[in-house]
A and B are shown apart, each in its own frame.
Chain A
């Protein structure tokens, strides 16, 4: 499907450079293991890995035509298309949540430098092979998508680093020692110790920015015209998580209410989090609840949805597998049903169009009652039962703020599951007043 079987010369050169870079990275790691960590065996292992990448590099430079197997490509596309084309987003979301939970649960294992390095290498290898596919390459290498590739790697690295330190600190604290940040309270002068670090950081940043700017032109498409909308029309990349929410909620929720709640929720964090521990050092054990919640919001609901919206949402905002051609004519069955229909149709009750508010309220009563229960009855119920210790510690205002923010955060996963499991379109459907939830 629109995929060439012969790699273009420029692509081969690009892949050669890519693998050369990865090989050099592994040479560096092998040297580090050999001489800094004094671990000969690891040194040998990573030299071999570097060799494998070097072979890839040389092969592509020499004009090899190693491309990802068509069978595998078609298989992934086919799998993502199951279940009325919905298996893609379901798999994507489920797998990211499972990985998230596994990472937190087995953080000690995952943050071992050798394990993290292996995962990085596997990721780069997968990326390298995927880049031999035309459809995948076309989307990944789009100019404005480069920041998202950077985002993936930097968020990955900056999740590994603090968790590595947290694991070490938690072990120290379990043994009765202070965290490493608190061990030396010694102070140093800002000049020269900090100002020089800052200067070096600025120089490195400038250097990277200049190289990036010289190598990659800023995108410029055809002159603007309102006559022809591109398909897909996408918001700037940092808002694609919000655009992804539009699949499940109407604009007033996805574009206004939920973003507002994100901002309010972020500002409210210091006033809700009554845990005084973990100030000024990395830890997980002392702040399990806070860190898990924040990471779920930032990584699973924000970053992975941006990646989904950028790389896997194509024309008509349909889901496309990573190797699938973005076919603008792809049609997915839309058979979503409103809750009111689920409720009233089996009872044989129908509602005529154009009725007054009274009729609408009766029609939508099941959804309205559910939403009211969710927002008004669930928090006191939780305060009475399983979250009673929280309620006592936090007091009335803090507790209800926390639970309400939680409920808004959970609103997206809940609607996702309802959509996938029951094809539910709206819980409350009042198009007369644009009030759809």
Chain B
């Protein structure tokens, strides 16, 4: 008996997989049905659907990069404190002191790549008309996921707390100041007042909500950190679940179901 057979016949192996290796047709079907990760897939797909020149793999790669970002992000959180006192020095230490000094590079370039792959995924889905009935809803979920991906990247941009970070976020968040009605320099905001008391001012408008202060500062750093590490990833994970579920129910690369 070979070592492989010995392992596959052991009680431990059998308790995990509960069926023989996927070498024949029956077990190749069974493996897709009995594994929680694999059962995100259907059992069989259209042959032309899995051609690389048709599907491009971009949706899958976006998800994979999301996992890469999650893992490297968790590791980075061990080294990084989101305070004015520590943030920049922690990034310096990550570069100069920490073992595996490419952690931040993996995270940053992975994030850039994820923005590109999700755009290309949308591009492919559009060009194959895969948003057409019955898949309209899942296209909408995808658009929200795309927006959240950009927000993830945007909130992460601030964390190194260098000149590049703070000014990019300043430029970006200045827009919130001009939100109609809700930004203190937005059209109509001055009309919202009770008597002489203005409801929308620089200490109560949409930009203040985003930054936690009148300017990008310590409060913003904390706010963006929590959004970046907890709030947005949770929302993305939920929506990914919905997205995948609907791919299985409404159809994916095999066409509309």
Chain A interfacial positions (CB closer than 8 Å to B): 144, 146-147, 150-151, 154-155, 158, 161-162, 165-166, 180-195, 197-198, 201-202, 205-206, 209-210, 212-214, 216-226, 228-230, 233-239, 242-243, 250-252, 254-257, 263, 266-267, 269-271, 273, 276-283, 287, 291, 294, 298, 430, 432-435
Q: Please indicate the chain A residues that have their CB under 8 angstroms from the CB of B168 in the complex.
A: 233-236
Is B202 in the interface zone, CB < 8 Å from A? no
Is B80 in the interface zone, CB < 8 Å from A? no
Let me know if A224 and B166 touch, CB within 8 A.
yes
Known contacts A187-B47, A190-B43, A209-B110; decide if A233 and B102 are in contact (CB<8 Å).
no
Is B42 in the interface zone, CB < 8 Å from A? yes
- Nearest A residue to B31 via CB reads A191
Of B4-12, B118-126, B223-231, B236-244, the stretch lying at the interface with chain A is B118-126
Q: How far is the CA of A158 from the CA of B121 in the complex (A)?
A: 10
Known contacts A209-B109, A220-B160, A279-B130; decide if A255 and B175 are in contact (CB<8 Å).
yes
Instruction: Encode contact with A along B125-156: 1 for CB under 8 Å, 0 otherwise.
Output: 01111111101100110011011001001100
Let me know if B109 and A218 touch, CB within 8 A.
yes
- Nearest A residue to B89 via CB reads A223
Let me know if A187 and B180 touch, CB within 8 A.
no
Q: Please indicate the chain B residues that have their CB under 8 angstroms from the CB of A283 in the complex.
A: 129
Taking A236-B157, A291-B127 as known contacts, 7 extra A-B pairs with beta carbons closer than 8 A to each other, sorted by chain A number, are A180-B48, A189-B29, A205-B65, A230-B163, A236-B168, A278-B129, A280-B130
Is B170 in the interface zone, CB < 8 Å from A? yes
Q: How far is the CA of A193 from the CA of B51 in the complex (A)?
A: 10
Q: How far is the CA of A27 from the CA of B167 in the complex (A)?
A: 45
- Nearest A residue to B115 via CB reads A238
Tell me the minimal C-beta distance from B213 to chain A in angstroms: 11
| Among candidates A205, A213, A220, residue contacting B91 with C-beta atoms closer than 8 Å | A220
Let me know if A220 and B68 touch, CB within 8 A.
no
Is B15 in the interface zone, CB < 8 Å from A? no
Instruction: Encode contact with A along B51-69: 1 for CB under 8 Å, 0 otherwise.
Output: 0111011001100110010
Q: How far is the CA of A207 from the CA of B28 in the complex (A)?
A: 28
Let me know if B188 and A435 touch, CB within 8 A.
yes
| Among candidates B60, B146, B165, B190, residue contacting A433 with C-beta atoms closer than 8 Å | B190
Let me know if A270 and B131 touch, CB within 8 A.
yes
Is B215 in the interface zone, CB < 8 Å from A? yes
| Sample (5) of A-B pairs whose CB atoms are under 8 Å apart | A186-B46, A223-B88, A239-B150, A433-B187, A434-B178
Q: How far is the CA of A245 from the CA of B37 in the complex (A)?
A: 43
Q: How far is the CA of A187 from the CA of B49 in the complex (A)?
A: 9
| Among candidates A224, A228, A254, residue contacting B88 with C-beta atoms closer than 8 Å | A224
Q: How far is the CA of A51 from the CA of B50 in the complex (A)?
A: 37
Let me know if B162 and A220 touch, CB within 8 A.
yes
Let me know if B191 and A263 touch, CB within 8 A.
no
Q: How far is the CA of A233 from the CA of B175 in the complex (A)?
A: 14
Q: Please indicate the chain A residues that have their CB under 8 angstroms from the CB of B42 in the complex.
A: 190
Question: Which 9 residue pairs of A and B lie closest in terms of their CB atoms, listed nearest first?
Answer: A255-B175, A213-B105, A270-B136, A251-B178, A252-B178, A224-B166, A147-B112, A435-B187, A280-B255
- Nearest B residue to A165 via CB reads B53
Q: Which of A146, A191, A276 has the most CB of B within 10 A?
A: A191
Is B179 in the interface zone, CB < 8 Å from A? yes
Tell me the minimal C-beta distance from A157 to chain B in angstroms: 10
Let me know if A187 and B64 touch, CB within 8 A.
no
Q: How far is the CA of A223 from the CA of B87 in the complex (A)?
A: 10
Q: Please indicate the chain B residues that have their CB under 8 angstroms from the CB of A182 in the complex.
A: 48
| Among candidates B29, B57, B129, B162, residue contacting A223 with C-beta atoms closer than 8 Å | B162
Known contacts A209-B68, A209-B109, A280-B255; decide if A198 and B102 are in contact (CB<8 Å).
no
Is B195 in the interface zone, CB < 8 Å from A? no
Let me know if A221 and B124 touch, CB within 8 A.
no
Q: Please indicate the chain A residues that have their CB under 8 angstroms from the CB of B119 in the complex.
A: 155, 298
| Among candidates A191, A238, A243, residue contacting B171 with C-beta atoms closer than 8 Å | A243
Let me know if B154 and A181 touch, CB within 8 A.
no
Q: How far is the CA of A222 from the CA of B27 in the complex (A)?
A: 58
Is B247 in the interface zone, CB < 8 Å from A? no
Is B41 in the interface zone, CB < 8 Å from A? yes
Q: How far is the CA of A213 from the CA of B102 in the complex (A)?
A: 6
| Among candidates B25, B52, B104, B163, residue contacting A189 with C-beta atoms closer than 8 Å | B25
| Among candidates B48, B123, B174, B215, residue contacting A183 with C-beta atoms closer than 8 Å | B48
Instruction: Encode contact with A along B231-255: 1 for CB under 8 Å, 0 otherwise.
Output: 0000000000000000000000011
Known contacts A201-B57, A223-B88; decide if A233 and B167 are in contact (CB<8 Å).
yes
Let me know if B38 and A191 touch, CB within 8 A.
yes
Let me know if A257 and B180 touch, CB within 8 A.
yes
Let me know if A269 and B139 touch, CB within 8 A.
yes
Q: Please indicate the chain B residues that have their CB under 8 angstroms from the CB of A185 in the complex.
A: 46
Let me know if B163 and A267 touch, CB within 8 A.
no
Let me know if B92 and A279 touch, CB within 8 A.
no
Known contacts A186-B47, A250-B178; decide if A222 and B128 are in contact (CB<8 Å).
no
Let me know if B164 and A226 touch, CB within 8 A.
no
Known contacts A158-B123, A189-B43, A239-B172; decide if A147 and B115 are in contact (CB<8 Å).
yes
Known contacts A151-B116, A233-B168, A252-B187; decide if A189 and B44 are in contact (CB<8 Å).
yes
Let me know if B131 and A147 touch, CB within 8 A.
no
Tell me the minimal C-beta distance from B74 to chain A in angstroms: 17
Q: Which of B52, B56, B129, B139 has the most CB of A within 10 A?
A: B129
Let me know if B123 and A298 touch, CB within 8 A.
yes
Let me know if A236 and B172 touch, CB within 8 A.
yes
Let me know if A222 and B163 touch, CB within 8 A.
yes
Q: Please indicate the chain A residues that have their CB under 8 angstroms from the CB of B38 in the complex.
A: 190-191, 195
Let me know if B143 and A263 touch, CB within 8 A.
yes
Known contacts A190-B32, A434-B187; decide if A234 and B171 are in contact (CB<8 Å).
yes
Q: Please indicate the chain A residues that have their CB under 8 angstroms from the CB of B45 in the complex.
A: 187-188, 190, 193-194
Q: How far is the CA of A188 from the CA of B29 in the complex (A)?
A: 11
Q: Please indicate the chain A residues that have their CB under 8 angstroms from the CB of B54 in the complex.
A: 165, 181, 282
Is B212 in the interface zone, CB < 8 Å from A? no
Q: How far is the CA of A266 from the CA of B178 in the complex (A)?
A: 23
- Nearest A residue to B22 via CB reads A191
- Nearest A residue to B256 via CB reads A279
